[in-house]
Structure 1
Amino acid sequence: MQKTVLIVENEFLIAMDLMRMLQALGWQVIGPAASVKAALQLLDHESPAVALLDVNLGTEVVTLVAEVLKARNVPFAVASAYDEPEKVGGAVLAGVPNAGKPTSERQLMAVMAQLTAV
């Protein structure tokens, strides 16, 4: 499996921190995308192995991106402070792994292992 991950996060410093941690773990990062539109444009050109999504992207939620990923069978997780992200982003987020926000490298490693488990 090619280790590519799409990051969808609207807060610049958090996105850069996630990117740094994932690259240190050997992942090739696609993005980060700060909006639903930007994420969908990236998905038009690339197909990541997995994705890491912020639920709340300022004035919008990540639901449409999650639905596209699910339709394409791309495993995804959220990096969210919400205990139940599905209450904000809809049923498509129910039961997905959550790296938390803020996240640690250890939490991120655990979530990435979940996403790539066969």
Structure 2
Amino acid sequence: MPKTVLIVEDEYLIATDIQRLLESRGWRVMGPVPSVRAALRLLEGELPSVAVLDVNLGTELVTPVAEALTARHVPFVLATAHDRPERIGGQVLAGVPNLGKPVSEQELLATLARMTGA
């Protein structure tokens, strides 16, 4: 059974690039979704193995999704240009791996593999 990854990213091209990359490597992608509401809705039905989150989702922050994942013991990484995402998104983002933007394919794959044992 393939590992699943939730992608929460409001920039369509970035989201689909990450989706294509991960699907080509055997991951099953949930989403991608561009909003907190859509992400939380997906989490009601299924938990992913791991998640990739952008901090800024248009006019909202991803913080509620990060809190929901943390409460459910689902690891996540950030894909954001912010060097200290916890300053804008809260303490739930402190110490979380931040892959930056643009996301390095090799770093993304290595980080997800390390987090899931894949």
Distance 2:111 2:80 in 1: 12
Residue 104 of structure 1: how far off its partner (Å): 1.9
Query: What TM-score, normalized by structure 2, do the two folds share?
Result: 0.94
Corresponding residue number in structure 2 for 1:24: 24
Between the two proteins, the alignment pairs up a number of residues equal to 118
Query: What TM-score, normalized by structure 1, do the two folds share?
Result: 0.94
Residue 25 of structure 1: how far off its partner (Å): 1.8
Q: Which runs of 5+ in 1 are unaligned?
A: none
Equivalent runs, 1:1-80 vs 2, <5 Å:
2-80=2-80
Residues 77 and 115 in structure 1, CA contact (< 8 A), matched pair in contact too? no
Root-mean-square deviation (CA), in Å?
Answer: 1.4
Moved over 6 A (4+): none
Residues 30 and 48 in structure 2, CA contact (< 8 A), matched pair in contact too? yes
Distance 1:84 1:111 in 2: 18
Residue 77 of structure 1: how far off its partner (Å): 0.6
Corresponding residue number in structure 2 for 1:91: 91
Query: Per the alignment, do residues 82 and 114 of structure 1 end up closer, same or farther by CA in structure 2, a change over 3 Å counting?
Result: farther
Q: Which runs of 5+ in 2 are unaligned?
A: none
